[in-house]
């Protein structure tokens, strides 16, 4: 009996802990969305009919893809691409310099 009560108490504490984390993350995400730092992108919802594999019953479900993306996503991607180009250019310059230094010696 004591083990069952302890297990239930631990389960309740874990539930409270998870709820607290969920609330804090939600508050922080809301703050970022409200300030325009993150943008919500979503597809239109669709209604699908699913077959329950256990009971064989049909049920309706709603499906929708939702993403949080940085408002500056395109700018960040451009910077990432610029970094790749600059690294490649630096590699070419380094190789050229190495070959030039070798030919001078």
Beta carbons of 45 and 56 less than 8 angstroms apart: no
Contacts of 60 by beta carbon, 8 Å cutoff, 6+ apart: 47, 48, 49, 50
Q: Please state, in angstroms and rounded to a whole number, the distance separating the CA atoms of residues 105 and 98.
A: 11
pTM over 0.85, yes/no? no
Which pLDDT belongs to residue 103?
A: 76
Widest Cα–Cα separation across the chain? 86
Per-residue pLDDT reduced to its tens digit, 53-96: 888 899 998 999 999 988 888 888 899 999 999 999 999 999 98
Which pLDDT belongs to residue 100?
A: 80
DSSP state, residue 37: S
Per-residue pLDDT reduced to its tens digit, 7-54: 999 999 999 999 999 999 999 999 999 998 899 999 999 999 988 888
Contacts of 47 by beta carbon, 8 Å cutoff, 6+ apart: 60, 61, 62, 63
């Amino acid at each position: 009996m004591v083990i069952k009560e302890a297990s239930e108490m631990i389960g309740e504490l874990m539930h409270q802990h998870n709820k607290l984390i969920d609330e804090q993350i939600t508050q922080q995400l809301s703050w970022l969305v409200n300030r325009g730092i993150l943008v919500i992108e979503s597809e239109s919802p669709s209604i699908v009919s699913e077959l329950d594999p256990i009971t064989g019953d049909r049920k309706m479900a709603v499906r929708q893809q939702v993403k949080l993306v940085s408002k500056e996503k395109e700018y960040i991607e451009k910077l990432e691409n610029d970094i790749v180009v600059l690294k490649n250019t630096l590699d070419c310059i380094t190789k050229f310099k190495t070959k030039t230094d070798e030919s001078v010696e």
